Amino acid sequence: MASFKQLQENENIDNAYTNKAVVYLESEEDLQIIKERWFFDEGKEIEFKSVDSGHGGGCTQVINRVNTERDKGISAFGIVDRDALMRKEKWDLWWEIDDQQFKQAKPFGDYILVLRRWEIENYLLSPEELEIVLSDKEFRPLKNIDLVIQNLLKEAEDLKVLSAAMILSHENGHTFSLGFGLKDTGEALQKEVKNHLSNHIKSKLSLQLTSYIQKIEAFAEGNTKPTRQRWERLNRLLDGKRTLQRLDLFKSRVGERRGDLARHLRINNNIDSELMAYIKEIKQV
């Protein structure tokens, strides 16, 4: 059986002679969304690949693969989640609200796109597509979209708390499970989060929670009314997987729903314009 190193070398040879651009993604789940649901028509020009070879993927692997292949003259690109900035402790850019300044920063080089939202799951959180999937799951009629947005923004109040806690925890070398605080809301959730931070990390960290919640709220850019614009702006810095989980759409008892959301986004021509532009740019290189 060929060694893992030999398999990598063979893959590099394949990449060099296919006349395709290669776009590396962090995980198999990202591949299922981006390649299989969104950009399957681009197969003649772009080869999407996951860096997860069974030993773990992630942003570091994407960065390394793109740099290695670029050094060999291969047309390689990468897409990483915004949370790569958190993992690499690039905090100034993590908290950057201005999308244009964020785009121009290119912290990992010219050939790696850093998504402006927390992770790929955030790009599934379109109110229309969420409501289609939720109504199918619950076997009920579609709700008015304004009501859907209002409900999402109510959920966002708790998600700001959980996302702020996740950022604080990561900053201090700790994490907590996706199931943490799943059933709690409002003051009860804040109390549970503060107790967790005090008991498992540092007692003073609970005092920073409010500050980090305010930093996330700043991404709404002053939009306080329950509008689509407020949701879209806040969605940049909400933990995407936790959002889907609280909506009972992520690894729920009735099964995985990310694929359904991604498929409906494609059908409704509602894939994020940033990603569409990036793929178009790669095709033109």
Contact residues for 32 (Cβ-Cβ < 8 A; gap 6+): 258, 259, 262
Do both 140 and 102 map to the same domain?
no
Predicted local confidence at residue 4, as pLDDT: 38
Looking at the fold, whether 87 and 154 belong to one and the same domain comes out as no
* Cβ-proximal residues to 46 (8 Å cutoff; 6+ apart), any chain: 20, 21, 22, 23, 39, 279, 282, 283
For residues 166 and 227, membership in a common domain is answered with yes
Provide the pLDDT for residue 24: 98
The pLDDT value given to residue 15 = 57
Say if residue 159 is in the same domain as residue 97: no
Pairing of strands 46-50, 21-25: parallel
The range of the structural domain enclosing residue 205 comes to 127-269
Do 252 and 141 belong to one domain?
yes
Helix pair 127-138, 258-267: axis angle to 10 deg: 130
Distance (Å, whole) CA 177 – CA 276: 32
Structure tokens belonging to residue 199: 């008991």
User: Which stretches of the chain drop beneath a pLDDT of 70?
Assistant: 1-18, 55, 251-255
State residue 5's pLDDT score.
47
Q: Are residues 12 and 144 in the same domain?
A: no
d(CA 142, CA 130): 10
Beginning with the edge strand found earlier in the chain, give each strand of the sheet holding 112-114 in spatial order. 46-50, 21-25, 76-80, 112-114
Is residue 215 located within the same domain as residue 248? yes
Same-domain pairing of 13 and 77: yes
110 shares a domain with 73:
yes
Query: What's the pTM value of the predicted model, to 2 decimals?
Result: 0.91
* Domains contained in the chain, number: 2
Q: What is the pLDDT of residue 255?
A: 56
State the pLDDT at residue 18: 65
Looking at residue 6, what is its pLDDT? 45
Tell me, yes or no, whether 112 and 10 share the same domain: yes
Question: Is-contact 104 50, C-beta < 8 A?
Answer: no
Instruction: Examine the domain organization and report whether 137 and 186 are in the same domain.
Output: yes
Locus of tokens 């006349």:
19
Are 256 and 148 members of one domain? yes
Distances (CA, A) of 39 to 12, 29, 240, 275: 22, 14, 21, 10
State the Cα–Cα distance between residues 150 and 198, nearest whole angstrom.
Answer: 32
* Cα dihedral sign, 61-66-69-72: negative
Q: CA 139, 141, 145, 150 torsion: positive or negative?
A: negative
